[in-house]
Amino acid sequence: MPVALVISPHADDAAAFCGATLAKFAQDGWRVILVRVTDDRKDSVSLSIEETIAQNAKELHDAAQILGVSEIVELGFETDVLADVPLGKIRERVVYLLRKFKPYAVFTFDPDGLYENNQDHVRVAQAVDEAFWVSCFDKHYPEHFAEGLEPFSVCERWYFARQLPEITHYEEISSSIERKISALCAQREMMRNTINQYRLQVKTWGKRVPWLDESFEGDMRSLIAMFVQEQAKATAVKAGWDPETSLAEAFRIVRFGDLEPLFQTMAVRFDESQ
């Protein structure tokens, strides 16, 4: 069974940026493992820190079940201050997980993503980007090998971002977009916190949007569905598809780079008996 490892700074990132694609992978028989780097202790409105941690963890598990995620790994770093954590500390944890789970594909934030204002996203992208090559070295973190682990390299990196520097792949998600919407709705506290940011901004503008208030206090599915569907339609248009019949998520997939044509010509099937 192929493994896809999703390395997400926060509870809602995986569903928001690649949830429909992950649901497709799970449906197709992949083992999808979700790594949450932070504890999201500040992502709520009017709850205590302890209540927020517990509620967001519960709702993450609910969302993961909807998407077909097999396992969740919690790294437990404090949210919104990853920029203050030594990069090597995060990188070591990622290297360990790469060696442990041996994923064929890793989904995470693009280290070259544009217009990213969340330093947790930036920090995770940097740490994972370094971990991709560090995990191959037997001189890096040799203490891992006492557990039976070994140097390992991921085959495919599926990068997402607020705006990718380059899109190399569009995933058609018409069959799984409802699961993405449901997964985001399951993370009610995270979504209420996001909606409240817009409510506060609109208030400063001197106005109010009743739909935001209604979604904040009650059923938010229609608001989330509208946003997700419009985003997926816009991405489909970029792909050159008809948005009335196709929906999409976008990625920058990195594999062998300039060596891809050479490897495609020279590669032979690996014989595990050798």
Average pLDDT of the chain is 96
Structure tokens, 54: 């517990």
User: What pLDDT is attached to residue 229?
Assistant: 98
User: What pLDDT is attached to residue 273?
Assistant: 42
Mean pLDDT of 71-96: 98
| Angle, helix 49-67 to helix 13-27, in steps of 10 degrees | 30
**Chain mean position to CA 134:** 21
Burial of 221 from C-beta contacts in 10 A (0-12 / 13-18 / 19+)? middle
User: What pLDDT is attached to residue 166?
Assistant: 98
Mean pLDDT of 43-57: 97
User: What pLDDT is attached to residue 67?
Assistant: 99
Structure tokens, 172: 């058609």
Mean pLDDT of 114-141: 98
Condensed to tens digits (0 to 9), the pLDDT of residues 178-195 reads 999 999 999 999 999 999
- Nearest Cα to Cα of residue 106 among 25, 45, 208: 25
User: What pLDDT is attached to residue 268?
Assistant: 85
Q: What is the CA radius of gyration of the chain?
A: 19
Q: Does domain 3-259 have CATH number 3.40.50.10320?
A: yes
Condensed to tens digits (0 to 9), the pLDDT of residues 132-157 reads 999 999 999 999 999 999 999 999 99
Contacts of 137 (CB under 8 A, 6+ apart): 151
Mean pLDDT of 193-215: 96
| Percent with pLDDT over 90 in the chain | 93
Confidence of residue 258 (pLDDT cuts 50, 70, 90): confident
Mean pLDDT of 196-212: 96
Mean pLDDT of 210-228: 96
Q: Where are the domains of the chain?
A: 3-259
pLDDT at 33 over 50: yes
